Amino acid sequence: DTGVSQDPRHKITKRGQNVTFRCDPISEHNRLYWYRQTLGQGPEFLTYFQNEAQLEKSRLLSDRFSAERPKGSFSTLEIQRTEQGDSAMYLCASSRGTSGGAGNEQFFGPGTRLTVL
């Protein structure tokens, strides 16, 4: 179990630029989640994949945000035309997906901290 990895760990960008983050889940996990965490708050759900299928998206995920998991392994989260309000920690998590698997714990990566200037 090598854990969930995320790249980059930090990203500083100027308002209006596009950014892309990568998440590599634990290899045997078929569920992958993206969350956003701002200072002093708990993580907020953005989107969720089971294998390559994006099954759920939060209303927080505006049309400037897009996520993919093309081969059911790693995932990317892209933010277009970044705004200062996008500054946050973006967390990726993965879990086993089994029948009734909502009870399977999610394992989190270290996060990507985005700063939009």
Partner 1 sequence: AQSVAQPEDQVNVAEGNPLTVKCTYSVSGNPYLFWYVQYPNRGLQFLLKYITGDNLVKGSYGFEAEFNKSQTSFHLKKPSALVSDSALYFCAVIGDTGRRALTFGSGTRLQVQP
Chain contacts with partner 1 (rule: CB under 8 A): 4, 31, 33, 35, 40-45, 48, 55-56, 58, 91, 93, 100, 102-103, 105-111
Q: How far is the CB of 15 from partner 1 (least distance, A)?
A: 26
Q: Which of 21, 10, 34 is nearest to 108 (CA)?
A: 34
Q: How far is the CB of 87 from partner 1 (least distance, A)?
A: 17
Q: How far is the CB of 78 from partner 1 (least distance, A)?
A: 20
Q: How far is CA 101 from CA 31, 52, 53, 65, 106, in A?
A: 10, 17, 16, 27, 11
Token digits for 85?
A: 């309000």
Which is nearer to partner 1, 111 or 116 (by Cβ)?
111
Which is nearer to partner 1, 8 or 16 (by Cβ)?
8
Q: Give the whole-angstrom CA distance, residue 58 versus residue 35.
A: 10
